[in-house]
Amino acid sequence: MNHANGPFVATALALAAAVCLYRTSQHQRLWSATKTPARWRWAALTLLAGATALLHPALGLAAASGVVISAAMLGCMLLPFINAWRHRTEVRDVV
């Protein structure tokens, strides 16, 4: 793999891990409810470990972990807003 693409791939893996974690939430409405939340949690853990392993040679363990956790947190913050935006109502009258 090209080393220049490593951070982008690792960020994509971390965002995919956030999606996997979000799938296990009882309050999410972006997808249908999952019957196997443990599998989604294990998939998220695997993706986070893969992203960290991808960045480890270039940044070191501490920095790689920080980048991966930050990207996953970004996904965990954005997904509820995407959920709310997708299921918004057109009520505009506010008293």
pLDDT band at 46 (very low <50, low <70, confident <90, very high): very high
The predicted-structure confidence for 69-88, as pLDDT tens digits, reads as follows 999 999 999 988 888 888 77
Q: Which three-class secondary structure state does DSSP give residue 54? A: helix
Lowest-confidence segment of 18-22, 32-36, 91-95 by average pLDDT: 91-95
Question: What is the distance between the terminal CA atoms of the chain, rounded to a whole angstrom?
Answer: 57
For residue 93, tell me if it sits in a domain. no
For residue 41, tell me if it sits in a domain. yes
Give how many domains the chain has, as a whole number. 1
Give the structural domain span for 26. 3-86
Residue 84 or residue 93, greater confidence: 84
The pTM score is 0.80
How far is it, in rounded angstroms, from Cα 52 to Cα 68? 6
